[in-house]
Amino acid sequence: MTSPQPLSNQVALVTGAGRGIGKAISSQLASLGATVVLCARSGSELDVLAHEIASRGGRAVPLVCDVSDQPSIENAKVEVEKAHGRLDVLVNNAGVGSFSGPLHEMTPQDWEKVLNTNLRGVFYCIRAFAPMMIRQGGGHIVNISSLAGKNPLPNGAAYAASKWGLNGLTYSVAEELRGKNIRVSVVCPGSVDTTEGWHQGKSSNKMLQPDQIAHVVAMLVTQAPQSFVSEVLIRPTQKP
C-alpha cells in the first residue's frame, strides 16, 4: 500500500460488526482510515466497539439494524445517506448457522432464520447500497461466505445452501456491477475461531483467527484500480 491510510475519506459499512469476524474487519478498515458504520442487532456490542476504535484514533458509527428485515436495511441506507452521502465499502458479514442435525429434522423456522440472514440479507444490503456506489462512480462489495459453500456439510445443509447461494449471487452481481467500477468479491474461510460455537470439538489454536479474515478484506479493498480479485479461499495451515 502506498499510503498508511489508503481508505482516508472513505465510508465503509460492515454487517454483523459486533463480534468475531465482523468486529475484526471493522477495526481493520478503521485502521486504514475509513469511517466505519457498524451494523448489528446488538447496540451494546456496537457501542463498545465504536469506543475501542475511537480510542485508537479511528472513526466508527454504531447503527443498529437487522439484515433479515428489509425496512431495517432501508432505514440504514437513509441514515448513511444523510450522515455521509456516500458508501465506498460494503462488507456483508452477518451470518447465522444451524448444525443440530440432518435437514429432514430441521424446522421451517430454523431454515428461514439461516436463509433470511445469510442470503436474503445480502440481497437487501446490495439492493440498498449498490445504487449509492453507482451514483458516486465505484466501490467495493465483499461478501463473507464459507468453505461450506464449496463442500458438503452434513448436519449443516441449510448453512451450506445459504453459502452456495451466496457464492452464486456474488459471481453474478460481480458481472452486473464491474462495468460500474464496483468490484464484488467473496471470501470463503474454513474454520474460524469465534464465539459462535459452530466448530465445537475442533482445536482453536489450529483454526483461522478473525484478524486473518480481516487482513484479506483489507487486501481486497486496497487493490490497484486495474485488478479484480473475485474470490478468496482461506484454509488453516493445519486441519483443526
Q: Just list the catalytic residues.
A: 159
| Residue 61: strand pairing partners | 37
Alpha helices (runs of H) in 1-105, residue ranges in sequence order: 20-31, 43-55, 70-83
Rounded Cα distance, 147 and 190, in Å: 5
- Give the count of alpha carbons within 13 A of 236, CB side only: 17
| Residue 208: strand pairing partners | 192
Is 181:137 a contact under the CB 8 Å cutoff? Answer: yes
**Grid cell at residue 130:** 449498490
Measure Cα distances from 124 to 14, 119, 235 in Å: 14, 9, 29
**Grid cell at residue 188:** 470463503
Q: For the chain, where are the E strands, in sequence order?
A: 11-15, 35-40, 59-64, 89-92, 139-144, 182-189, 231-234
